[in-house]
Structures are given as structure tokens and as C-alpha cells.
């Protein structure tokens, strides 16, 4: 089977090579998915550069986080998945840019029946990350105000829609006039070009100085620090991504004083569902995934919103898998909107 491998750390066109590999075999708790389509995640850009420490296997490894396809083999205990059309995440969030992909069943869901393969490829991470950030972790309620950074991106476009569907007032930031227009189409009440304007001033202006109740922060670093000034009392600032500077994920947080004085909370978001908790003692990092049952409830709510026509996957581009390195370069250059979906 064909698979895109990171063979050296560099920009995507230099880091990636297409290889022919034996099909991987699923182990206990796993399924193998025959890919129909996959989507690009910004993390994969950082993965090519060797600076994405969350998913950092030794070289060479097969890049790719998520896909849609049909289960063509199962490990012990997972036979019920055989033959089903699913959305899935490659084991350890790698390996998905291949024709066949081994996935932990904990992170597999039936592909929503209303979506074709390309739409389903653009659905999983954006809508689950956004739902977990805004609803499970951010506790968003109707009538509140939400700020979404990078609102025209894959996760951002989903966050704008979920916030609007929840009955929130939505403020989105994005980096070009076309991206701002997309944010408005998706339900943003206010769209701010944070590359040409001071978004702090613009958010304070839009909220009569009160600030926002929830922020879905997908950019990180300096953008997060500046967002402190835009949080309402009782607000929830959700750290969900670091597209602006992945290094900020491991740098010490700013002094706590602005958080105390602002009376708001800062929370983290990791999209990972497990039937069993992961071991924590003796590990350098305590990884605490959400329960699989939470994932099932999120999926059920999202399917309901899809069926009601209140959310839709945003596909900015479709391309052939042969073009993966060039498409990742477009993502790094901030030229993408929504999801870029690739087919074998």
C-alpha cells in the first residue's frame, strides 16, 4: 500500500516521500481502515518540521491524523466494526496518510450517513475539537459571547458554526478579507482581521468593554496573552491549538496576575477519547483523555446538528493524495480555509 512518510525534518516538500509498505495489521482494541479520503491537519506541518512534540515518532514514520474509509480488518474484540464506513484517527494520531490505516477503536465513529466521503473527511477533528473546546470544557451557554481565533480554518470554521448553533454571539478572527467573509457566512456576527487590526481593541469595542465569555484559542503564544485582555469576568479561555507558534506549548505561561485580576479561567483541550484511563504515575506528562462515552455523546449531538442543517463541514480544497506535500505547504503559508481533503 502507498503511504506518505516523513523521512527528514524539513518543510513539507522536502520532508515527505511516498513509500510502498506492507498493509499494517490491527492488534487488540484496533481496526484497520481502508481509506476513502483524508484531511490535512495543521499539526502535520509542524510534524514535518520535527517540532510537534505531541506526536513525535522516530523517523521515518507515516504522517496523518484522520481519515474516512471502510473497516477491512479488526483486532480481537472489535469484530463488530468490520465493513462499517467510519471516521477514524490513526493509532497515536499518525499513519493516516496511507491507503490502509490501523486505528484504535476508542477513536472510531460511524461516518455520519448524511455526509459523502469528502464531507466526512472534513468533519471529525474540526467538529469534535470545537465541540469539546466550547461545550464540554468551555461550558458555553446560549446568549454568551464567543471569540474564535483562526475562525476560517478547519477547527475554527467548525467552532464558529457550533457557537452560532448554541445561540451565542460569535466574534471570529482571521487573516484575510476572504477568510473574514467565510467567518460571516458561517455565522460570525463580528469578524476581525487580526493581521491588520488590533483584535483586542476590536473585541472590546464589539462587547462594550465587557469582553467575551468563552474563547476557542487555536493560535496560541502572543495571541493567547493578548486575549487575556478580552476575557469577561467568569470567562473561559480554552487553549486548543498553537498554529501561531507550536513552541509556545512548552514555554512557561505568563505570570498569573492578569488571570486573577480578570476573574477568568484558562483551560486545556485535548481531543482523545478512551474506554480506559491511561497510566499516569511515573509518566513525564499526565495524559487524561475524555471518556469514550463523552465522545459518543459529542458525536450524537453533532449528527443531530448536521441533520438539522445547522452545521456543515467546510471543504476549502480537494486534491489528489499525490499533491499532499504541496497542499501542506499551502497550509503552512496560511492559504487554506476549512479543510483540505485528499483522495487516493
Ligand X SMILES: NC(=O)c1ccc[n+]([C@@H]2O[C@H](COP(=O)([O-])OP(=O)(O)OC[C@H]3O[C@@H](n4cnc5c(N)ncnc54)[C@H](OP(=O)(O)O)[C@@H]3O)[C@@H](O)[C@H]2O)c1
Q: How far is the CB of 77 from ligand X (least distance, A)?
A: 26
Pick from 133, 120, 312, 338: nearest CA to 240:
133
User: Cβ distance 86 to 68 under 8 Å?
Assistant: yes
| SS3 state at 233 | strand
- Sign, Cα dihedral of 265, 334, 132, 58: negative
The nearer residue to ligand X, 73 or 188, going by C-beta atoms, is 188
Contact in structure between 127 and 295 (CB atoms under 8 Å): no
Residue 90 binds to ligand X (criterion: CB under 6 A): no
How many Cβ atoms are within 10 Å of 184's Cβ, its own excluded? 16
Region 132-151 residues binding ligand X, contact defined as CB under 6 A: 150
Q: Say if CB 41 and CB 154 are below 8 A apart.
A: yes
Q: Are 319 and 342 in contact (CB under 8 A)?
A: yes
Minimum gap (Å) between residue 310 Cβ and ligand X:
20
Least gap, CB of 53 to ligand X (angstroms): 12
Taking CB under 6 A as the rule, which mask of x and - marks residues 184-223 in contact with ligand X?
A: ----------------------------------xx----
**Member of 12, 95, 175, 295 binding ligand X (CB under 6 A):** 175
Q: Which is nearer to ligand X, 36 or 330 (CB)?
A: 330
Backbone angles phi, psi at 194, to 5 degrees: -80, 0
Site string for ligand X, 270-299 (x = CB under 6 A): xx----------------------------
How far apart, in whole angstroms, are the C-alpha atoms of residue 50 and residue 180? 31
Whole-angstrom distance, CA of residue 241 vs CA of residue 216? 9
Nearest residue to ligand X on Cβ basis: 153
Tell me, residue by residue from 42 to 81, as one string, x for binding to ligand X by CB under 6 A and - for no binding.
xx--------------------------------------
Among 240, 248, 302, 315, binds ligand X (CB under 6 A): 240
Contact track, ligand X, 303-332, x by CB under 6 A: ----------------------------x-
Q: What would you report as the CA-atom Rg of the chain, rounded to the nearest whole angstrom?
A: 19
Contacts of 284 (CB under 8 A, 6+ apart): none
Looking at beta carbons only, is 95 or 156 nearer to ligand X? 156
Q: Which of 125, 127, 199, 273 binds ligand X (CB under 6 A)?
A: 125
Least separation in angstroms between residue 79's CB and ligand X is 29
- The secondary element (H helix, E strand) that includes residue 58 is none
- Sign of the C-alpha dihedral computed for residues 64, 70, 74 and 78 taken in this order: positive
Residues of the shown chain interacting with ligand X in the complex, contacts defined by CB under 6 A: 41-43, 125, 129, 150, 152-156, 174-175, 179, 218-219, 240-244, 269-271, 331, 334, 336
Amino acid at each position: 500500500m502507498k503511504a506518505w512518510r516523513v523521512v527528514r525534518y524539513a518543510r513539507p516538500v522536502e520532508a515527505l516521500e511516498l513509500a510502498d509498505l506492507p498493509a499494517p495489521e490491527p492488534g487488540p482494541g484496533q481496526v484497520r481502515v481502508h481509506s476513502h479520503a483524508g484531511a490535512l491537519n495543521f499539526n502535520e506541518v509542524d510534524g514535518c518540521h520535527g517540532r510537534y512534540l505531541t506526536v513525535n515518532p522516530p523517523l521515518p514514520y507515516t504522517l496523518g491524523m484522520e481519515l474516512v474509509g471502510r473497516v477491512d480488518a479488526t483486532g480481537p474484540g472489535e469484530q463488530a466494526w468490520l465493513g462499517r464506513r467510519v471516521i477514524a484517527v490513526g493509532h497515536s494520531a499518525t499513519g493516516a496518510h496511507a491507503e490502509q490505516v490501523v486505528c484504535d477503536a476508542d477513536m472510531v465513529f460511524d461516518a455520519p450517513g448524511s455526509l459523502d466521503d469528502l464531507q466526512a473527511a472534513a468533519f471529525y477533528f474540526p467538529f469534535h475539537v470545537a465541540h469539546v473546546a466550547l461545550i464540554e470544557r468551555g461550558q458555553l451557554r446560549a446568549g454568551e459571547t464567543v471569540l474564535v481565533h483562526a475562525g476560517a480554518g478547519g477547527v475554527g470554521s467548525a467552532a464558529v458554526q457550533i457557537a452560532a448553533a448554541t445561540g451565542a454571539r460569535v466574534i471570529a478572527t482571521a487573516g484575510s478579507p476572504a477568510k473574514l467573509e467565510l467567518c460571516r457566512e458561517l455565522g460570525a456576527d463580528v469578524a476581525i482581521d487580526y493581521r491588520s487590526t488590533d483584535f483586542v481593541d476590536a473585541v472590546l469595542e464589539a462587547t462594550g468593554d465587557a469582553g467575551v465569555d468563552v474563547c476557542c484559542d487555536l493560535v496560541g503564544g502572543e495571541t493567547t496573552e493578548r486575549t487575556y485582555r478580552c476575557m469577561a469576568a467568569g470567562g473561559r479561555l480554552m487553549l486548543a491549538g498553537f498554529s501561531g507558534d507550536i513552541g509556545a506549548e512548552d514555554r512557561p505561561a505568563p505570570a498569573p496576575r492578569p488571570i486573577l485580576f480578570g476573574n477568568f479561567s484558562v483551560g486545556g483541550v485535548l481531543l482523545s477519547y478512551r474506554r480506559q484511563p491511561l497510566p499516569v504515575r511515573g509518566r513525564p506528562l499526565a495524559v487524561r483523555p475524555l471518556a469514550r462515552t463523552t465522545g459518543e455523546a459529542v458525536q450524537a449531538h453533532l449528527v443531530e446538528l448536521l441533520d438539522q442543517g445547522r452545521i456543515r463541514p467546510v471543504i476549502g480544497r480537494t486534491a489528489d493524495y499525490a499533491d499532499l506535500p504541496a497542499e501542506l505547504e499551502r497550509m503552512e503559508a496560511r492559504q487554506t480555509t476549512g479543510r483540505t481533503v485528499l483522495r487516493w
